[in-house]
Structure 1
Amino acid sequence: MSSEKLNVLDFSQARIRTLHFTWFAFFLTFVMWFSHAPMKPFIMEAFNMTNEQWKALLILNVALTIPARIVIGMLVDKFGPRSVYSLLLLTSAFLCWGFAFASSYEQLALFRFLCGFIGAGFVIGIRMVGEWFPAKTVGVAEGIYGGWGNFGSSAAAWTLPAVAAYLYGGDDGWRYAIATTGVVAFFYGLIFYRKVRNTPKGSTYFKPKKSGGLEVSSWKDFWFYVAMNLPMYLALAVLTWKLSPSGVGLLSATTALLLWIGLVLLFFVQLSQIYKVNKDHLKDGVPDMQRYKFKQVAILDWAYFVTFGSELAVVSMLPAFFMETFDLTPIKAGLLGGAFALMNLVARPGGGLISDRFGRRKTLSILICGLAIGYMLLSQIDSAWAIPVAVLSVMVCSFFVQAGEGAVFAMVPLIQRRMTGQIAGMAGAYGNVGAVTFLTVYSFVDAATFFMTIAGAAAVCFIAVQFLEEPQGHMVEVDEDGSVQLIEVT
């Protein structure tokens, strides 16, 4: 047996270098994924769009990300983050160009839907960073990766309109600005493949025995895993409904019905794949040293549902909330609403750092509790509040939200190394499920009730987190040649 600790302590400079290469790859995916948002006036004018058509684009932008994160997680575990991240960046560039130079609303909608695939890039770096950093520092490293990468959405909002106006100009400036993000991503994909390794020198990259689903440790966990897939399909069904004639009307009733039938069939196909992965694995019995509890994955999924799910939902509605509550111009409201995302730079690494220092369960419990209180506070904001106080309240709440995200992914790499991509993919998908859930609630209620709903979900999540088990000692991975490696998790 050998310990991972012996392999990584001599590579501090290489670790930092890999972290910077990886968070910037994630940063570029978020720049491309949200490049359309700050271009709203130009795009709507170019295509003579209605508000309902624009809302349809926003829905399409997140729809594909839910299944894409699951699929990308499987590919990462099988082929390694270096190849998968490079390929995703190269592919994303073409999707970005397709959207930028669309000539009709139908083409625009199609490429916006396909651009949801770009949002799956997040899960790739989780496995990469987990391979390079030991347990005692993996939380802050994952926090830097996630927080600095997430800032790509804000960077797009703050820079692309200026690029469109001052660098390119003209009616098609927005097209060239968006296309430029694809050019940068394409060349960076080539650089990433050339400069980055999957693991530190001397470390083994462990892979699942089979692809198509997580390997679990018992038949009880098998059915638990199957049940945890249902909310993702329900979220996709809700998205289909929102695009149907009952929602924004982008899909016909027949197309929506076919998609719902397709989702049911897809669920049973996935169920058969999960069974194939686990039938022999469970029949022969899983050795004690390789067992893990699926409840750990499920709790982290629901924690990300509340944290990242609420962030995506709140970022989508906060500028309009400020504009309506305080009678502000769209520009001022957008700048104030951006305060929520801005906290990513420090809050997410902070959550990972606290988790490394004070324990995974304790940290997540405190942050989820703070998140619930924060949203309860936001539910009380009205026109009588001073604007600086309202903005400060938003920033305090966002700290707990994004620090909670950092705490979730501080633990993800410590559950089962060879399946980190799939575990990250499932947790990441649950973040999008949370966004769909909360935005659907928001379409029926006022802002105060919306914030209280998130606070209530956080309270339920707080109870679930109490059942999270602190990682202890080492996880055990077995190489293809049968050799055993101990990987430190505390």
Structure 2
Amino acid sequence: MKEQLQPLTALRIFSFRGIQMRTFHITWITFFFCFFGWFGVAPLMPLVRDQLHLTKNEIGNIIIASVSATILARLFVGKMCDTLGPRISYTILLVAGSIPVMCIGLSNSYETFLLFRFLIGIVGASFVITQFHTSMMFAPEVVGTANAVTGGWGNLGGGVTNLVMPLVAASFAGLGLVSEESSWRVAMIVPGVILLVMAWIYYKYTQDTPSGNFHESLKRREARPKGKGTFLLALKDYRVWVLTLAYAACFGIEITVDNVAATFFIDRFDTGLIMAGAMASIFGGMNLFARALGGIVSDKVGRSYGMRGKGMLLGVLLLLEGVGIHLFSASDTLILAIITMLLFALFLKMANGCTYGIVPFVNKDNIGVVSGIVGAGGNAGAMLVGFLFKSESMTYADAFQYIGIGVSIIGIVVLVTRFQARQEPVKQQMSLDLQS
């Protein structure tokens, strides 16, 4: 019984026993379906573009809007986790996010579609709760791997969405319920309903920490982070800013690709809607193992070389990601584009996992706030590069070329950053954590 009240020191992937592993699985599954709500309309944009007569500039604004609300939402949700706890925070977010997801089908103009796409962005804050909740359930020596697995398997939803949502829309049209042009409207009801179901499951079957929920007793409240989510303390740490920049260069690019991949393949290689969605899903499918691999390698490097080693690993991964994106932008055949996409996807998603293998150790009293700030950085990066895709004078391939250069520069910045403020190996820090 005592073991059940403590964070786990090992990740038992195929186990559902104990509140820690039950929460682990519910958390990544919930995050997985959040991607259906967040990016469900992305592979359907060719249909939306034709029906609402959208220009390239307007589509660029929509891409920016889809990630903009997430920036503020992630900062706010990080604070909520430190005060209300992840269970209540996730439940509120899922219910609130389901509304614009289901209502986006009511859009009849560029302006209304832009508004709903902006509001849907709050669903992206689910990532912060996922990482926070996982950090509560696992001990320091395995938390990097656990965070990477929940994040990676959840992000997998971004790839599956590209494959599934065109099929959902086609099914409604095939049944004669709606026309093919309007099928995207009805299709978006499906992820909205799923979010409501997951809100109920999360509230009923998880708890905030292994020992209980934040609100249950004064004694259990001591289990929550002591720093009360102070933004100022986190913002004073230069390492938080560097990790924010790094996450903009990996996760920020990932959700950008989730947004534009299907349209890119249709416009550049003249594929059909379902085929383009399938090609785009390959990118997201790398999350099945690549982000987890980044977390596993990060934990192993940390045990041998401390935080400095983890930082150098992250820098190298970002450099390789930048090179891969450049090769992708120069691809002139569909096969070559897929191969280079898989190449940069591997390094990108490993960098995601590596980043959040560092986050829990930067400020242990304010994990929620640091997770929120770094997570918001990912969306800030996506918002900024979104401006490249709205330019009438720049092709999507040109935009990816500039992105590759930017990611490589950030990789160099991370490489020269000293993540370790004090000369103590991360293994020693973990030992102290377990004793306290």
Same fold (TM over 0.5): yes
1:110 matches 2:115: yes
Question: Cα 1:136–1:383, aligned 2, differ >3 Å: closer, same or farther?
Answer: closer
**What is the aligned partner in structure 2 of residue 21 from structure 1?**
26
**What is the aligned partner in structure 1 of residue 433 from structure 2?**
487
Superposed CA offset, 1:455-481 (max 9, x none):
2222222222566765354589xxxxx
Q: Distance in 2 between matches of 1:150 and 1:23?
A: 9
**What is the aligned partner in structure 1 of residue 156 from structure 2?**
151
Tell me if the contact between 1:367 and 1:401 (Cα under 8 Å) persists in the aligned partners. no
Q: Distance in 1 between matches of 2:242 and 2:3?
A: 27
Please state whether the residue corresponding to 1:83 is helix, strand or coil: helix
Q: Distance in 2 between matches of 1:381 and 1:163?
A: 29
Q: Distance in 1 between matches of 2:50 and 2:40?
A: 16
Larger CA deviation: 96-105 vs 313-322? 313-322
Please state whether the residue corresponding to 2:426 is helix, strand or coil: coil
1:7 matches 2:12: no
Please state whether the residue corresponding to 1:199 is helix, strand or coil: coil
Residue identity over aligned pairs, in percent, reads 29
Segments of 4+ moved more than 6 angstroms: 3-6, 382-386
Question: Cα 1:409–1:382, aligned 2, differ >3 Å: closer, same or farther?
Answer: closer
Question: Cα 1:462–1:178, aligned 2, differ >3 Å: closer, same or farther?
Answer: same
Q: Distance in 2 between matches of 1:384 and 1:301?
A: 30
Structure exhibiting the larger radius of gyration computed from Cα positions: 1
Question: Cα 1:462–1:95, aligned 2, differ >3 Å: closer, same or farther?
Answer: same
Superposed CA offset, 1:58-83 (max 9, x none):
22111111111101110111000000
1:38 matches 2:56: no
**Cα offset for 1:163?**
1.5
**What is the aligned partner in structure 1 of residue 345 from structure 2?**
398
Q: Distance in 2 between matches of 1:124 and 1:305?
A: 18
1:199 matches 2:209: yes
Q: Which runs of no fewer than 5 residues in structure 1 stay unpaired? A: 226-293, 477-485
Alignment partner of 1:424 out of 348, 371, 382? 371
Instruction: State the AA in 2 paired with 1:372.
Output: L
Superposed CA offset, 1:283-328 (max 9, x none):
xxxxxxxxxxx23323322221222123234444555665666x44
**What is the aligned partner in structure 1 of residue 125 from structure 2?**
120
Please state whether the residue corresponding to 1:16 is helix, strand or coil: helix
Tell me if the contact between 1:208 and 1:419 (Cα under 8 Å) persists in the aligned partners. yes
Q: Distance in 2 between matches of 1:18 and 1:109?
A: 35
**Cα offset for 1:136?**
1.6
**What is the aligned partner in structure 2 of residue 352 from structure 1?**
295
Q: Which runs of no fewer than 5 residues in structure 2 stay unpaired? A: 213-219
Tell me if the contact between 1:154 and 1:341 (Cα under 8 Å) persists in the aligned partners. yes
Q: Distance in 2 between matches of 1:187 and 1:436?
A: 30
Q: Distance in 2 between matches of 1:193 and 1:438?
A: 36
Tell me if the contact between 1:474 and 1:489 (Cα under 8 Å) persists in the aligned partners. no
Q: Distance in 1 between matches of 2:150 and 2:331?
A: 39
Q: Distance in 2 between matches of 1:52 and 1:449?
A: 18
Instruction: State the AA in 1 paired with 2:316.
Output: C
**What is the aligned partner in structure 1 of residue 215 from structure 2?**
none
Alignment partner of 2:200 out of 165, 185, 190? 190
Q: Distance in 1 between matches of 2:123 and 2:27?
A: 15
Superposed CA offset, 1:84-110 (max 9, x none):
001111111112122123344433222
1:177 matches 2:187: yes
TM-score (norm 2): 0.81
Q: Distance in 1 between matches of 2:329 and 2:127?
A: 35
**Cα offset for 1:37?**
0.8
Alignment of structure 1 residues 378-457 onto 2, 5 Å: 378-380=325-327, 387-440=334-387, 443=391, 446=398, 447-457=400-410
**What is the aligned partner in structure 2 of residue 308 from structure 1?**
251
